[in-house]
Amino acid sequence: MVMRRINRTLVYGALIVAAILYLLPVYVVVITSLKSNASVSLAQMWNFPTHASFASLRAAWAQLAPNFGNSFYLAIPATLFSAALGALNGYALTKWKFRGANVLFFVILMGLFIPYQSVLIPLLRVMDSLGLYNSIPGLILVHTVYGIPITTLIFRNFYSLIPDDILEAAKIDGTGYWGIFRHIILPLSMAGFVVAGIWQFTQVWNNFLFAVSLTNPPNQPVTVALVNIAGSQTVQWNVQMASALLVSLPTLVVYIVLGKYFVRGLLAGAVKG
Amino acid sequence: MAQEVLPVKAPKTSKPLRRRHRTGDSWMPILTLAPSIGLLAIFVYGFIGWSGYVSFTNWNSFIPTLTWAGFRNYVTVLTSFRFQSDLRNIFFFTILFILGVLVVGLILALLIDQKIRAESLFRSIFIFPMAISFVVTGVIWSWLLNPTTGVNLILKSLGIPGPQWFLSTRFVPTIHLGQLSIGIPIALLAVVLAAVWQMSGFSMAVYLGGLRAIPEELKEAARMDGASAWRTFWSVIFPNLKGTTATIVVVEAAASLKVFGLIYAMTGAGQDFTTDMPNLNMFQTTFSGDAFAQGAAIAMLLLLLMAAFTVPYVLSVLRGER
């Protein structure tokens, strides 16, 4: 009994130490964001601000606000489009067994495992010739296409959990391909859309490579704006940390509210059927 | 993968549904997949082929010169100091990063699996860095690990001289091979630290799923035999986590080969390319240096590296499903 109590104490002690280490960057970012230009100094970096000042957050927001608009305008349509395609693909791959389904799934899935540098040069050329270079619609197209592999994977996993029996009954009744999708599959898909949607929104919001390759000011998403602010020698640390905090807030809020679904998207990336 | 069973409601059959010939539907799955397959055929496979072609041309200036160059770009890249540094860096980065996420993820998963209180709170804390951008992580950690501030201030107050972190130019060990220093660049350890902080939530979540999938009877049997917790772990639990570990290794290795934003925001290429990566090299060679063909050659080498372990892995997973 005593041994057990000691073990419990050790387990909780280790967990609490680990949690503090994981949250340490958050502590630094938040307290630095709440310091004004006058009170930010390297020596007192770890100290609590003597009084909370919103000057840094206001300064960061003034620089980032237009880019926030860009990122929302990009991430929401791109998420909806790739989730919709993923749902259609997942349905076709799981509920209608046909020859070559696995080959087609492999062809789709490998898109998840390419370094995007290997498509970047042609991508820029094609976007340019379509008139979509340096535009948010161009980025929406790019993220929709490269989002297809993961959303297809998520919906394929999700739909394979729906028993085939209920479809068989509908097929015998003469319900067709789209009828089954519309009346049976779609009403059961809410959780799948939440998982795929959250995952895609986070990926698109956080993406940097496509954003920095395909856009110039004023069409840049927040991640590029953040790197520009951080790279500038004239911007104080408190404004940089405030910018980092603001850029992270949308995805963090989604994670805090719908964390369970985020983890399911995370595990889908493990590619286990 | 452990997922809760869906609440499957009986379909509403009250709605009259039109009768159709069942054979007419046999093409529908393929028609449904056609737009996605078409887009990926162009944007993934077509573009890879196009990049591959560019890598064999003389397009190394602002003007696209698509004359045949053979393997010249590959020779240029492979013999360059920068790319050789990249290969050393990505090799050590991948190994240290994977070891880091495996060890940290497994320890956290084992701790959380002890039937603790506030389990979901601890899980949320360890996973939240996955929800933020690599460039945010880069910006934050470049300050935390700045040699004159951050963590070094705490170390200094404890009387420990802090390391130079990502500004260090040392290698451990230092073996000179021509112009190149072979060894672990100390500067890279700072990047590994930030990357493990960001990505260990994934390995923790996957390991937790793996631990929960081990039947209770197995652990019970070991305990009945009087095996210590240590023995139980190594002879019962760990062997059952082999598949889980393989999954994490492949997924994290793919993530490691894709690392770009973190380096870009945190350190850049570093002094003497101590923290440079093939991805950053490709980006700068192509878009700052206008050496498109050389950039394409770097991208192709990276793709080969990636395909060497992801293709066999995905094939084996798909075969295992049948």
Q: What domains, with CATH codes, occur in chain A?
A: 61-268 (1.10.3720.10)
**Token pair 């704006």: residue:** A225
Give CA–CA dist A155/B230, Å, rounded. Answer: 40
Integer angstrom CA distances of residue A174 from B10, B11, B23, B113 = 17, 14, 11, 49
pLDDT in tens, B247-287: 899 989 999 999 999 999 998 998 889 999 999 999 999 99
Chain A residues 32-91 within an 8 A CB cutoff of chain B: 42-43, 45-46, 85, 88-89, 91
Summarize the confidence of residues A112-129 as an average pLDDT: 95
A237-268 vs B134-144: helix crossing angle, rounded to 10: 130
| B46 neighbourhood in chain A, CB within 8 Å | 122
Q: What is the ipTM of this complex?
A: 0.91
Q: What domains, with CATH codes, occur in chain B?
A: 82-287 (1.10.3720.10)
Chain A residues 199-258 within an 8 A CB cutoff of chain B: 202, 205-209, 212-213, 223, 226-227, 230, 237, 240-241, 243-244, 247-248, 251-252, 254-256
Q: What is the pLDDT of residue A271?
A: 59
DSSP result, A20-63 = HHHHHHHHHHHHHHTS-TTT--GGGTTSPPSS---HHHHHHHHH
| B308 neighbourhood in chain A, CB within 8 Å | none
CA distance B309 to chain A (A): 10
pLDDT in tens, B27-38: 899 999 999 999
| A29 neighbourhood in chain B, CB within 8 Å | 140
Q: What is the pLDDT of residue B8?
A: 43
| A121 neighbourhood in chain B, CB within 8 Å | 50-51, 54, 286, 292, 295-296, 299
- Cβ within 8 Å, pair B303-A118: yes
Other C-beta atoms lying within 10 Å of the C-beta of residue A258 = 16
| A85 neighbourhood in chain B, CB within 8 Å | 35-36
Identify the segments of chain B with pLDDT beneath 50: 1-21
User: Which residue from B26, B43, B296 is facing A146, i.e. has the nearest CB?
Assistant: B43
Looking at every residue in chain B, the average pLDDT score rounds to 87
| Residue A94 and residue B33 in contact, taking contact as beta carbons nearer than 8 Å | no
pTM assigned to the model: 0.90
**DSSP-based three-state secondary structure for B183:** strand
Chain B residues 257-286 within an 8 A CB cutoff of chain A: 257-258, 260-261, 264-265, 278-279, 282-283, 286
pLDDT in tens, A62-118: 999 999 999 999 999 999 999 999 999 999 999 888 888 999 999 999 999 999 999
Q: What is the pLDDT of residue B11?
A: 46
